[in-house]
Amino acid sequence: MRDWHLKEDHQRKEKQDICLRSIFGNPAERNLTQTIPKKCITLLIAFDKNRFISRMLSKSITITRLCRTVKCISISDGQCHFLVEGINFTRSLENIVLSAVRGNLYLNEPCNSESLYARLYILASAILFSERRDTMIWYERMNNAIDYIEKNLCAEIDFDVVGKIVCQSPVSFQRTFSIVTDISVFEYIRRRKMTLAAFDLQNSNEKVIDVSLRYGYESPEAFTRAFKEVHGASPSNARKYGLPLKAFPRLTFLLSIKGDAVMEYKIENKEAFSVYGIEGIFTTNDGKNLKDIPMFWQECMEDGKIDKLIKSTNESLSRIHAICDYRKTGGNTFPYMLFAYKTKGCNTDGFTQVDVPAATWAIFKSEKHTQEQTSGVVQGLVKRIYTDWLPTADYKKVDGYELELYFVSDVDKYYVETWIRVEPK
């Protein structure tokens, strides 16, 4: 029995040595320092967690967490010097590679350097994406979302996928897109489809119905209507008379470094609290929420609902604020509520109640403005949060429970505070 185990160990060692030679060449010719980059070593150490790292730290660590906590300091003389949670370790590169291969890459299968690296990168891709997504700043995630949309203009665009790319809910992404770009994502998609459709019609003899089907229109009539809204002419007339057409280029989000306008903000931790008020459900389709929410305020003021809400607080000077995206309402919709804070003396009967969890908040203050300017000021402030503050801040936004707090500044002058939940990057 002992001889059998020795033979098995010898065969395993031969396989491992073959694998090493396929990667690094013969032992005398190996230059591991130049062959493996530090990033790859970090991943290999992470793959090695069950066999080495967990044993050293006497606890279980996830691969994603290891990618954040392992730091490769240096590689010299075939030794890797690295830190794990502040503890120094040194280990042979051969042992790191072997353990990763043995534990994760199924060494009993035929293996050469090409297939080994292919399998390693398959394993690494999920980790790299997870790690990269956490450190990726806002405009990079938005550009990745645009990449996905552009690649699927002739297919179905899944906003659940887009939401995962940008680390937001689909509805939150749609709201953000509208505020930052001044058009809805649906309008952007329509314009891009019509731009490409115009190129196809001008540069081919394809039938209009074939072009319309390619870009997701089930009938030539719907396609013609969309085409005419964008280009001002029907597809057939545009082709027949060579009419000038519009081209809407692909959007690209860039980091803009500005110092000309001060942006007041503070970070504040706040315990859980409750609010209640008048709820409406709004859609992001065609950016309708940007128009419908100001109308919602106006209607609630005119029909006495806001006065009723103020009276329910038993405080004559109570201010009415707003909260949105605090629960899922399905599709491309989100909830928006005019609210008062819930206190002991208030009467919440007939109103919607929302419990806001404890959180760290980034609070942004607007400039003073008139009541008529309020809607534009709020939208402009939110736009600056995404374009000016988030790309360079040490915090990332947490979805949901966005607050708009309204205050009186001077006679006929007001200011707004926008509150978003955040956590350190």
Q: What is the pLDDT of residues 252-290, one digit of tens each?
A: 887 655 555 667 789 999 999 999 999 999 999 888 888
**Per-residue pLDDT reduced to its tens digit, 86-114:** 556 665 655 555 554 444 433 333 434 44
Tell me how far apart the alpha carbons of residues 259 and 388 are, in angstroms, rounded to a whole number. 10
Tell me how far apart the alpha carbons of residues 364 and 3 are, in angstroms, rounded to a whole number. 73
Quick one: 158 and 192 in the same domain? yes
Quick one: 240 and 151 in the same domain? yes
Containing 47, the helix (H) or strand (E) segment is: helix 38-47
Examine residue 259 and state whether it is found in any structural domain, yes or no: no
Exposure string of 385-408, with b = 16+ CB inside 10 Å and e = fewer, is bbbbbbbebebbbbebbbbbbbee
Examine residue 383 and state whether it is found in any structural domain, yes or no: yes
Give the per-residue pLDDT at 375.
Answer: 85
Q: Which of 216, 231, 254 is the last residue of a domain?
A: 254
Nearest alpha carbon to residue 50 among 61, 64, 40, 65: 61
Give the per-residue pLDDT at 81.
Answer: 62
pLDDT at residue 214 greater than cutoff 70? yes
For the segment 142-165, the average pLDDT, to the nearest whole number, is: 89
Quick one: 128 and 214 in the same domain? no
Give the per-residue pLDDT at 257.
Answer: 53
- Percent above pLDDT 70 for the chain: 65
Quick one: 116 and 205 in the same domain? no
DSSP 272-290: -EEEEEEEEEEE-GGGHHH
Range of the domain at 162: 136-254
Quick one: 276 and 414 in the same domain? yes
Structure tokens at 389: 């503050």
Quick one: 15 and 76 in the same domain? yes
Bridge partners of 83? 71, 88
Examine residue 414 and state whether it is found in any structural domain, yes or no: yes
Give the per-residue pLDDT at 275.
Answer: 95
pLDDT at residue 46 greater than cutoff 50? no
CA distances from 12 to 3, 101, 114 (A): 14, 12, 20
pLDDT at residue 34 greater than cutoff 80? no
Containing 68, the helix (H) or strand (E) segment is: helix 63-69
**Per-residue pLDDT reduced to its tens digit, 184-199:** 999 999 999 999 999 9
Least confident of 18-22, 103-107, 360-364: 103-107
Q: Which of 134, 169, 194 is the last residue of a domain?
A: 134
For the segment 337-352, the average pLDDT, to the nearest whole number, is: 93
Give the per-residue pLDDT at 83.
Answer: 59
Quick one: 274 and 155 in the same domain? no
**Per-residue pLDDT reduced to its tens digit, 364-415:** 998 888 988 888 888 888 888 888 888 778 888 898 999 999 988 877 888 9
For the segment 337-357, the average pLDDT, to the nearest whole number, is: 93
Quick one: 287 and 395 in the same domain? yes
Pick left, alpha or beta for residue 287 (phi over 0 → left; psi -120 to 50 → alpha; otherwise beta).
Answer: left
Quick one: 175 and 245 in the same domain? yes
Quick one: 270 and 234 in the same domain? no
Quick one: 125 and 140 in the same domain? no
For the segment 408-425, the average pLDDT, to the nearest whole number, is: 87
Structure tokens at 52: 């080495």
pTM of the model: 0.61
Give the per-residue pLDDT at 189.
Answer: 94
Nearest 5 degrees, angle CA 268-CA 269-CA 271?
135
User: Please, what's the largest Cα pairwise distance for the chain?
Assistant: 95
pLDDT at residue 131 greater than cutoff 70? no
Quick one: 298 and 207 in the same domain? no
Q: Which residue has the higher pLDDT, 346 or 22?
A: 346
Nearest alpha carbon to residue 216 among 144, 285, 163, 149: 149
pLDDT bucket at 240, cuts 50 / 70 / 90: confident
- Overall number of domains in the chain: 3
Q: Which residue has the higher pLDDT, 171 or 133?
A: 171
Examine residue 163 and state whether it is found in any structural domain, yes or no: yes
